[in-house]
Amino acid sequence: MVISILCGGSGTRLWPLSRKLMPKQFAKLIGEDSLFKMTLERNSKLLSAHDSLQVITNDQHYFLALDIAKSLNIHIDMFILETLSKNTAAALTLGALLVARQNPNELILTLPSDHIIHDDDAYRACVETACKFASKWGGGNIITFGIVPNRPHTGYGYIQVENSVAQEAYKVMAFHEKPDEKRAKAYLEKGGYYWNSGMFCYQANTLLNEMKHHAPEIYQHCNALLEISLQNNKNEFVRLDRTLSEELPDKSIDYALMEKTNKLYMVPSRFVWNDVGSFESLCEELPKDSNNNTISRQSIALHSHNNLIMSNKMVATLGIDDCVIVDTQDALLVAKKGYTQEVKRIVAELSSKKSSLVETHNQAFRPWGSYTVLQESPTYKLKSIIVKPKHRLSLQKHYHRNEHWIVVSGSALVQIEDKEIFLSPNQSTYIPMGYAHRLTNPGTIDLVMIEVQVGEYLGEDDIVRLSDDYARQDC
């Protein structure tokens, strides 16, 4: 079996906590573990010696995912790196094409990376049932996991099923979009409706044959894309060609295939499940006070009920009910509960204005470490930079800014053009505009330094990479 984890979502409904370069699957929304880390831990327990792990993620998130896997001592056998997000139909097809090169009959368990599942034993039992039916009758079945609903939820799509097969799986009749409350109640009263989890189990060839039949354009594009991309393949990942990726149709697997195929069955899933697709869903996973408020430790809520307050600052409320207040260093969201599905519209408006608030937080993570923007104006930017031991940044230059580096702790090896200098704490250097330069941490502890950028344009895209240890595509 290959467990394929889909890790390319953007989580726009959880902005400002979730952003393009740190989406919800990598953010620490619940405790100290990210949703991706929880997913890896949960599914690594299912692996036997002959099974493998595949992760499909955005090219920019490769090192985030890799670092999390390494922290768990879990080996990812193959990464598929998307240079453009083209939805789940392309992702599942590419994953199956890669698996089929080794074994066309291999079972694939495809899972989102950003869901919460409670009760590992019930989850394992459900996976075993799904694998059994995906292989039954000579294979040829696609199995989806339908969550047994416990209330008329309006934030999930629904799967409608018909006759029972051996009391363990049901033929899927139809998919239904997120209903209003009246329709959701009718679904529960009628029975035979389940929440759509987006989890599937199938043999590689089964999915590919169905894609050939029902979505030939996607299949053909994916096949051509993988052929070209494998020419530049690394042992540990396949980076998808960006130009060919632009031609991929942008469709969900439900729309492209699952609503059309007659080979789809559903296994009822009784484990507690949450897709964490909104702040209301997130609230369900967090502790509450006696007034049903979920509040950060340093906040105070008086005469206030049923609120979600997330902030590293002191937030005090008086007489506030049913609100979501999310405060980050550079953005504040205040919303009435019931409206948080519309947060994606705020993200769309910010995107239309090319706001960096959609892209990144004040703190951004890179393969070599991280940086935090401390202060900025149109003509200068102040950053704190942390470089991990034995790591270095790309050899690069800038056309629109000069940089001043001051070492706070650790040691730095600085290359400027063809010269190298060592810097210790309290020492500094200057990098003129247009000069090739590189920063290395040769030590055994983190290098912490302050960077002052001065220039007419200070965007992160003013970087020309001349050489890069991490094979980033813009080098």
Gap between the Cα atoms of 303 and 43, Å rounded: 43
Q: Which helix (H) or strand (E) holds 414?
A: strand 412-416
Residue from 177, 210, 213 nearest 193 by CA: 177
CA 70, 199, 338, 284 torsion: positive or negative? negative
Gap between the Cα atoms of 176 and 193, Å rounded: 9
Other CB atoms within a 10 A radius of the CB of residue 243 amount to 10
Alpha-carbon dihedral angle through residues 218, 220, 225, 227, given to the nearest 10 degrees: 150
Residue 166 has a pLDDT of 55
Cβ 165 vs Cβ 229: under 8 Å: no
Structure tokens at 71: 């922290």
Q: Which residue has the tokens 């949450």?
A: 274
Residue 473 has a pLDDT of 64
Q: What share of the chain in percent tops pLDDT 70?
A: 98
Cβ 281 vs Cβ 115: under 8 Å: no
Q: In the chain, what are the domains?
A: 2-274 (3.90.550.10), 287-342 (no CATH), 363-467 (2.60.120.10)
- Each residue of 29-45: b (16+ CB within 10 Å) or e? beeeebbbbbbbebbbe
CA 159 from centroid of its chain's CA atoms? 24
All residue ranges of the chain with pLDDT < 70 are 138, 163-166, 234, 473-475
Q: In the beta sheet, which residues pair with residue 86?
A: none
φ/ψ of 166, rounded to 5, equals 55, 25
In terms of Cβ atoms closer than 10 Å to its own Cβ (0-12, 13-18, 19+), residue 109 is: buried
Gap between the Cα atoms of 214 and 273, Å rounded: 30
Cβ 280 vs Cβ 151: under 8 Å: no
Residue from 123, 169, 176 nearest 152 by CA: 176
Strands 447-455 and 401-409: antiparallel
Cβ 103 vs Cβ 204: under 8 Å: yes
Look up residue 345 and give its DSSP letter: H
Q: pLDDT (tens digit, 9 = 90+) per residue, 317-364?
A: 999 999 999 999 899 999 999 899 899 999 999 999 989 899 888 888
Residue from 224, 338, 359, 349 nearest 279 by CA: 338
Gap between the Cα atoms of 136 and 206, Å rounded: 12
Residue 231 has a pLDDT of 87
In terms of Cβ atoms closer than 10 Å to its own Cβ (0-12, 13-18, 19+), residue 268 is: middle
Gap between the Cα atoms of 272 and 254, Å rounded: 23
Cβ 322 vs Cβ 337: under 8 Å: yes
Gap between the Cα atoms of 370 and 385, Å rounded: 6
Structure tokens at 443: 């030590």
Other CB atoms within a 10 A radius of the CB of residue 356 amount to 17
Residue 24 has a pLDDT of 94
Other CB atoms within a 10 A radius of the CB of residue 362 amount to 16
Residue 9 has a pLDDT of 84
Structure tokens at 107: 């079972």
Residue from 260, 114, 271 nearest 195 by CA: 271
CA separation, residue 186 to residues 146, 149, 153, 192 (Å): 17, 12, 11, 11
φ/ψ of 455, rounded to 5, equals 170, 180
Please tell me the pTM assigned to this model: 0.88
Cβ 92 vs Cβ 206: under 8 Å: no
Q: pLDDT (tens digit, 9 = 90+) per residue, 149-195?
A: 999 998 899 999 986 665 788 999 999 999 999 999 999 999 889 99
Gap between the Cα atoms of 214 and 208, Å rounded: 10
